[in-house]
Structure 1
Amino acid sequence: MLRVQGLRKRYGDTLAVDGLSFTVRPGVVTGFLGPNGAGKSTTMRLMLGLDAGEGSTTFDGVRYPDLGCPAGTVGALLDAGAVHPARSAYRHLQMVAAGAGLPDRRVREVLSLVGLDDVRHSRSGGLSLGMRQRLGLAAALLGDPAYLILDEPTNGLDPEGVHWMRRLLVRLAEEGRVVFASSHLLSEMATLAQDLVVIGQGRLIAAQPVGDFVAAHTRSEVLVRTDRAGELAALLRQEGAQARVDESDTLVVAGFDADRVGEVAARHRLPVRELRTRRSSLEDAFLAATADLTQFRGAAA
């Protein structure tokens, strides 16, 4: 398990991280979400001891500075640009491997894994953002770690690259690793993650499975298409549902599931052309959960 307890970090008068505590389990991808300025990057730096602050993070009970071989336990990608631009991809990874006591053969293995073997001798400064992102992931994977901490791992990747990254992270998690990844792409995170840690203004909002988070912050609705929408709406309200006519022949119902709505319509012999459940998305849930904690807002166009 990855355990975070009481992380706190202040920059002058600003409390960037405010007593964060959560647990990340192995075997699944855990998404780390929050609005801009919520403290996600600072939290990850605190977890790895890169920033000074209060609280602790343990990897199977051990703090990062106390790990015997950090690269063999924790792999991190926090800044894909943290590479000397004149150094080739191969030389950069060779340097990292040497510092961690890893053999040179591992460099070629991870370059192949992330799809950069053909450009291994190219200067890092000439690589695209997406390719540098792959290089950063290669560095994180050098020690075959049990824990992965990744800040925006799909940033700069093209659609094929995003699809590849998703499959790779899921596979790594299925091997029993802890995979903790932040992202602003909620549609991607809805596909990738099984668990979520959501923060706002440095404080914990939720730490739970994706489905539970969506259910807690949104509600599903039943859509009904019928020529007698007004009549069916009145009947459903009499039985305790919330119902409104959205269009002339479309009814939106909350409080009843589709089976219950269909049963009411059948009992009163009302014809129904369409009956389906409209479930809220992770984006809907995220916006609802962070509505009062978003720091940076643009003006309406």
Structure 2
Amino acid sequence: MIQAIGLTSNTRQELPPAVDDVSFEARTGRVTALLGAQGAGKTTALRLMLEIQQGRGVTYFRGRPLHRISHPSREVGVLLGEVPGHPGRTVRGQLRMLCAAVGVTVQRADDVLEVVGLVSLRDQRLGTLSRGMDRRLGLACALLADPHTLVLDGPADGLSAREGTWLHSVMRAHAAQGGTVLFSTADPKEAARTADRVVTLEAGRLVADQEAGDFARTRLRPRVAVRSPHAARLGALLAKEARAGRRSIEVVKEEGNRLSVYGSQCAEIGETAFRHGILVHQLADEIGDAGPVAAVPSPTPAPERVTETPEAATAATEATAVTALAGGTEVGSAGANSEGGDPAATADVLPETDTLASTATATTTATDAEATIATATTTGIDTSTDTGAESDAETAPTATATATATATATPTAETTPTAQTKILIPLAAADPTSTPAPQDAAAPTPLPPPISIRPARGPLRPLRYELRRAAGIGTGYLTIAAVLAVSAVLAVFLARNGHTPQPLLLAAWPGELPLPPAALGAGLLGALAFGEEFRHPALAADRGTVPRRLGLLCAKLIVAAGTALLLSLLVLVSDAALLHLVYGDEVAKVPPDWLSLSASWVALVAGCAWAGVLAGGVFRSTTAGLAAVLAVPIVVVPLVQKALEGPSVRSAAGLPGRLRDLALVQWPFGVERYLAGGVRMIAQPVGSALMLSVTALLCAFLLTGVRTRAR
């Protein structure tokens, strides 16, 4: 069950809020439609409910707000707009990636594919799906974690009649299994045909909350669709006969040879056509457009109370009686008592104590062709109200009035009128002998709590999610292939001139480039790790922002480091093999200190990958992440070199020996050599600049994550 209370969006400069004090319920086991024209505030209301947009109000999903639910995707399945997936990813790959995000087995992806009928298209790319297939995939993503509640924003927009019927059947089946379904639509006929209850919005305000049958009867106009080659003549004859019979009908000329006749029936139109010999191709009952929506009156500025007069009673059409039980005494809200019906006599009936004043809230709702229902809630007095007031089926608006009432004398059977009407009188004009309402009744209603945008908790299985995300598209494979090809070509050209040192030759790192191709490729792959999250936010489909949790960051760093290690080793092996093939063993020989050089090489490539990951997460862009990687040799390295320039009083020479003397035992396996290699790598300007950049980006990522959680 969904309970939305006081949903109000933030004001937009001098414009009114897109959603203003909207409250409604969507019950379990039923399909609820949120109806409204374009700009009525449907999407804003859903975003406020899901805590994606800031505003005021509170929404309970089975008694808990969304930020109190540990795993929201298992409680609420959401479809907002298009499926936020990479166009190069397959349908099955997208669902398997989301399975790791919501913490379910990969078998669930095949199950929902069968439910939505996409088994035959599981290897299709997302960028090639049609509108109907995209809607099916979005519904599959919403059903992936088997949620209790479905919140769908315009799920049938742009679908064919067949696809729309299928989608509505799936929503109905989910509700029949004990779930809750809330969807938005701009088509009143779709809402009346599909939903069990229709909540109508207009200009951001709630104007009606009705059962689907009442909505179709009171807010949709039945019409007769007529198609005839002589439509104009038939329309004129229908209008003429209606005037002669003093009946009110409306004939609307549609496209082609079609007519829409409001206020008539198929039998009457068919008889008219038969009498005048007019050929009819179609004659069918349909549901027409929604009627005019009545505006909601502004709240009453001052408390009011309900009294009744005999004059108003004689003019009304339905009986209204309010019966209250107070201390075993029956009290009625009649305007005339057994003594003569003086309204002032109400003060003589109730005891003169502080408990005389009973605060009653009467809510009167008048809809087209519906009886007025008044519910009174009293303080200290149990009240039950039965009211009836017929309203015109075409012109009666929907109104809500709140009144504070004082119970009056008990009517007798002889004097109680058969027809009474409630008249709202402000307290300023009320009888001075009556007891005033308590001060608490006039206290202003507190504002609903603010809605803050809270990021998602992130994938429940971050490492598995990141592996499937990285391996699900061809960008990574193409990048690795391009790096290997460019490195091989550069290595061959560098070996030709014979002036490049052996380590730089194997790494394909010419002195004119700030970084080798392998480091740039690793930085690009790292920047894609977070940049694609913000460009195609698979994790933020139902909660707004991409999460900044440490588990997701660690998973991305681990996968980026593994990719960098694989890329660096592939570059060394491929370059050495090509150099051996072209120039022989002399050029492709292994350097003596290959172990420390390999460690430095892997550290450089992995550091660039990490810099790309962190920069992509901080700046939310792949381009910014790659720019941060390039900034290391272009901007940071010159700064580090300038800082290290000048005479040095002391140096770190002999550090491994001093560390060995510091230890109580001898370093095993020649660890001092590796330690010396690490120190030399850090002492290099590129190594120092890279370490400085990674540290700064990590601090920036953590600070932005803390700031997001603080809001």
TM-score range, shorter chain: 0.7 to 0.9
Paired letter, 2:151: I
Report the Cα distance in structure 2 between the residues aligned to 1:219 and 1:37, rounded to whole angstroms: 23
Decide whether aligned partners of structure 1 residues 188 and 213 sit closer, same or farther in structure 2, where only a CA change above 3 A counts: closer
Shift of 1:109: 0.7
Decide whether aligned partners of structure 1 residues 145 and 219 sit closer, same or farther in structure 2, where only a CA change above 3 A counts: same
Report the Cα distance in structure 2 between the residues aligned to 1:81 and 1:69, rounded to whole angstroms: 20
Give the structure 2 partner of residue 8 of structure 1: 8
Report the Cα distance in structure 1 between the residues aligned to 2:220 and 2:165, rounded to whole angstroms: 28
Unmatched tracts of structure 1, length 5 or more = 222-243, 254-272, 293-301
Decide whether aligned partners of structure 1 residues 109 and 220 sit closer, same or farther in structure 2, where only a CA change above 3 A counts: closer
Contact 2:83 2:137 in 1 (8 A): no
Paired letter, 2:58: S
Shift of 1:197: 0.8
Paired letter, 1:197: V
Shift of 1:3: 0.3
Equivalent in 176, 181, 184 of residue 182 of structure 1? 184
Richer in strand (by share): 1
SS at match of 1:93: helix
Ranked by relative contact order (alpha carbons within 8 Å, sequence separation 6 or more), the top structure is 1
Paired letter, 2:293: A
Report the Cα distance in structure 2 between the residues aligned to 1:158 and 1:219, rounded to whole angstroms: 24
SS at match of 2:159: coil
Contact 2:221 2:291 in 1 (8 A): no
Scaled by the length of structure 2, what TM-score is found? Answer: 0.33
Residue range with higher mean Cα deviation, 205-214 or 32-41: 205-214
Confirm or deny that 1:75 pairs with 2:71: no
Decide whether aligned partners of structure 1 residues 191 and 141 sit closer, same or farther in structure 2, where only a CA change above 3 A counts: same
Shift of 1:19: 1.0
Decide whether aligned partners of structure 1 residues 250 and 97 sit closer, same or farther in structure 2, where only a CA change above 3 A counts: farther
Contact 1:26 1:173 in 2 (8 A): yes
Shift of 1:143: 1.2
Give the structure 2 partner of residue 205 of structure 1: 207
Give the structure 2 partner of residue 109 of structure 1: 111
Equivalent in 193, 196, 200 of residue 195 of structure 2? 193
Shift of 1:251: 4.3
Shift of 1:34: 0.6
Give the structure 1 partner of residue 65 of structure 2: 63
Report the Cα distance in structure 2 between the residues aligned to 1:205 and 1:46, rounded to whole angstroms: 19
Equivalent in 240, 265, 289 of residue 293 of structure 2? 289
Report the Cα distance in structure 2 between the residues aligned to 1:97 and 1:136, rounded to whole angstroms: 14
- Describe the superposition over 1:236-261 as per-residue Cα deviations: whole angstroms up to 9, x where unpaired: xxxxxxxx9516579459xxxxxxxx
Contact 1:200 1:290 in 2 (8 A): no
Decide whether aligned partners of structure 1 residues 219 and 79 sit closer, same or farther in structure 2, where only a CA change above 3 A counts: closer
Confirm or deny that 1:23 pairs with 2:25: yes
Give the structure 2 partner of residue 153 of structure 1: 155
- Counterparts of residues 157-176 of structure 1 (less than 5 Å): 157-176=159-178
Contact 1:245 1:252 in 2 (8 A): no
Paired letter, 1:194: D
Give the structure 2 partner of residue 239 of structure 1: none
Contact 1:218 1:288 in 2 (8 A): no
Richer in helix (by share): 2
Contact 1:34 1:198 in 2 (8 A): yes
Report the Cα distance in structure 2 between the residues aligned to 1:219 and 1:162, rounded to whole angstroms: 23
Report the Cα distance in structure 1 between the residues aligned to 2:207 and 2:26, rounded to whole angstroms: 15
Decide whether aligned partners of structure 1 residues 290 and 172 sit closer, same or farther in structure 2, where only a CA change above 3 A counts: farther
SS at match of 1:206: strand
Contact 1:130 1:155 in 2 (8 A): no
Shift of 1:52: 1.2
Residue range with higher mean Cα deviation, 110-119 or 80-89: 80-89
Give the structure 1 partner of residue 700 of structure 2: none
Give the structure 1 partner of residue 146 of structure 2: 144
Contact 1:9 1:53 in 2 (8 A): yes
Shift of 1:155: 2.1
Report the Cα distance in structure 1 between the residues aligned to 2:203 and 2:35, rounded to whole angstroms: 12
Contact 1:26 1:177 in 2 (8 A): yes
Shift of 1:216: 4.2
Contact 1:31 1:197 in 2 (8 A): yes
Contact 2:34 2:184 in 1 (8 A): yes
Residue range with higher mean Cα deviation, 37-46 or 150-159: 150-159
Scaled by the length of structure 1, what TM-score is found? Answer: 0.74
Decide whether aligned partners of structure 1 residues 219 and 121 sit closer, same or farther in structure 2, where only a CA change above 3 A counts: closer
Equivalent in 111, 124, 140 of residue 126 of structure 2? 124
Give the structure 1 partner of residue 310 of structure 2: none
Structure exhibiting the larger radius of gyration computed from Cα positions: 2
Shift of 1:58: 0.7
Contact 2:77 2:150 in 1 (8 A): yes
SS at match of 1:62: coil
Report the Cα distance in structure 2 between the residues aligned to 1:23 and 1:217, rounded to whole angstroms: 20
Report the Cα distance in structure 2 between the residues aligned to 1:202 and 1:63, rounded to whole angstroms: 22
Paired letter, 1:114: V
SS at match of 2:81: coil
Contact 2:148 2:180 in 1 (8 A): yes
